[in-house]
Amino acid sequence: MKRNNRDLLSNLWNFTRRQPYIFALVLLLTAIVINYFLQPNFFRPRILESNLRTYLTLIFLTVAQTIVILGGGIDLSVGGIVSLVNVVIVTALGTEPGAGQIALALALGLLAGTAAGLLNGIAVAYLRFQPIVTTFASAYVFAGLALLIMQSPGGVVPVQFSEVYRSRPLGVGFPIWVIAIILIVWGWARSTRFGRYLFSAGGNPISAYVTGVPVPFIKMLTYVLSGFVSALAALMLVMTINSGDPLIGGVTAYGPSITLNSIVAVVIGGTALSGGQGSMAGSIIGALFLSLLLSIISFANVDNWWQVFVNGIIIVLALAVPGLVQLMRGRRS
């Protein structure tokens, strides 16, 4: 009986490794059913689009986190980057911005996020600092810069932002277009040399380096892309809250909470924290599930600490299950 249980667990693990998004998809469908019972108008197009708009920030952060984790790293600074870019954009907009001022504000925000990612990338890839320590420290540096620029929430966002965010090009909601574009761009990038190098560098960096893969450059580039995509997440947030907030990224004395959500979403989506294995579609599904979980907690009047508890359990399982499977395989052999 014990042998059969071990074989069943091993086969299940192998199946989920081959199809990493299956588990996330099951969780997402379950969350959708529960949300429907708690919120009967859940499937109305206007409600669905409104929910998806609020999910876009976490989706972009999950995309950023996925790129770094696939490359064998981790980025705990995405929440700090969101705070920094948020206040940079809102401050640069001013009170009555014209088209040129809006373009400048967007450029400065994207540049700030990309520069933050570049600093992380240089420190991790070329100075060989530990990723988890480096990005944890830089998260507070970026959050501190955000507080230096804007000491308290405020600012005015022009109505053009809200109009774009709530638009429906060709009758399809803006969030659907964004998610589709993300998947199309990732599908293209996955087929390029960068995509092949990314998975090689994350899966086995030594072998990749021996075969000619520029591992340090690829690792640095993952953090640069993470900073850029995190800046896009901040832009989605600006269009959602229509103001600036230096603490919106969640980097406080208790830790970077929005960052933890992005990591949990990546893990739920089937991307291995060890790097080199996973899918962007799975990560986005994980982000959607986690966002729906927040809705369930809200509508069911469940204490928020349950989400923190569940997130911690998911991370522990993601780290422990591969080792347990390998242990059982060793005992069986």
Domains and CATH numbers, the chain: 2-332 (1.10.3470)
Query: Who wins on pLDDT, 96 or 123?
Result: 123
Can you tell me the distance from the alpha carbon of 109 to that of 224, in angstroms, rounded to the nearest whole number?
Answer: 14
pTM: 0.87
Q: Are 287 and 55 in contact (CB under 8 A)?
A: yes
Q: Binning pLDDT at 50, 70 and 90, where does residue 333 land?
A: low
Q: Mean pLDDT across the stretch 58-74?
A: 94
Give the amino acid at 296: I
pLDDT at site 22: 77
Q: Mean pLDDT across the stretch 136-152?
A: 91
Give the amino acid at 197: Y
Can you tell me the distance from the alpha carbon of 26 to that of 83, in angstroms, rounded to the nearest whole number?
Answer: 33
* 8-48 confidence digits (pLDDT tens): 556 655 655 566 677 778 888 888 888 888 887 877 888 88
Percent of the chain clearing pLDDT 90 (strictly above)? 39
pLDDT for residue 250 is more than 70: no
- The encoded tokens of residue 235 equal 């832009």
* 199-233 confidence digits (pLDDT tens): 999 988 888 888 889 999 999 999 999 999 999 99
pLDDT for residue 305 is more than 90: no
From the number of C-beta atoms within 10 Å of its C-beta (0-12, 13-18, 19+), residue 297 rates as: middle
Can you tell me the distance from the alpha carbon of 315 to that of 65, in angstroms, rounded to the nearest whole number?
Answer: 14
Number of other CB atoms surrounding residue 232 within 10 Å: 23
pLDDT at site 254: 42
pLDDT at site 253: 44
pLDDT for residue 72 is more than 70: yes
Q: Mean pLDDT across the stretch 250-276?
A: 77
Can you tell me the distance from the alpha carbon of 249 to that of 257, in angstroms, rounded to the nearest whole number?
Answer: 8
pLDDT for residue 126 is more than 90: yes
Beta strands in the chain (DSSP E): 251-252, 255-256
